[in-house]
Copies of this chain bind each other. A is one copy, B any other.
Amino acid sequence: MNTETTDEIIAATGRALCECGYADLTMQRIAKESSLTTAAIHYHFDTKSELLNAFLDDLIERFQARLACEAEDPRERLTTFVDAVFTPSASDDDFPVALMELKAQAPYHDGFRERFCDLDDVMRRVVATAVRDGIDAGHFEEADPEAVARLVTTAINGAHVRRVALGEDGAETRATVERYLELQLGWTPNSEVTA
């Protein structure tokens, strides 16, 4: 359960991670980004890994909130998903780099890996459910919803690494994913939804 203090520590962790990278991230560095002492941070989180696990939990929770779409219409849900994934958030531009560093650390940290797997499940479930519902409702052409969700999610993973390694913005991958959905489903996100 997050409190105001743990929220502040998590936000400071994100800023420190963006500024100095994973290798140079220390409790001292995080304390400097917050109004708290190193001792106070240690009181809440024993280790850097524990703190980064909480940081990832918070990230996933916020991402899920952005994906949340109460719409009945599966076309609107797919549109919300694509917008959430490809619209850069207001957060620091260094954020995708910091997140990639944590992904690169996943082989050495079961806690990180578990959370990235959870995030992947969330993304794939949202897409697969929208695709399945859209096929059932006759909006989309026949397709394997799990397979569509897998390709879309893999392309989003690719967009992340392309942004970090190549400096490419997400617009290219967004267009690529939309072309694929048009081909596969006969419908693209952000098309007008008519009943």
Interface of chain A: mostly helix, strand, loop or mixed: helix
As a 0/1 sequence over residues 159 to 195 of chain A, the CB contacts with chain B under 8 angstroms (1 = contact) are 1111011110000110010011001100000000000
Most chain B beta-carbon contacts within 10 A, residue among A150, A159, A184 = A150
Q: Which residue of B lies closest to A155 (CB)?
A: B154
Q: Does A107 touch B at the CB level, under 8 Å?
A: yes
Q: Identify A150's interface contact among B23, B150, B160, B176, CB under 8 A.
A: B176
**Complex Cα gap A114–B157 (Å):** 21
Interface of A toward B, CB cutoff 8 Å:
22-23, 94, 97, 100-101, 103-104, 106-107, 112-113, 116-117, 120, 147, 150-151, 153-162, 164-167, 172-173, 176, 179-180, 183-184
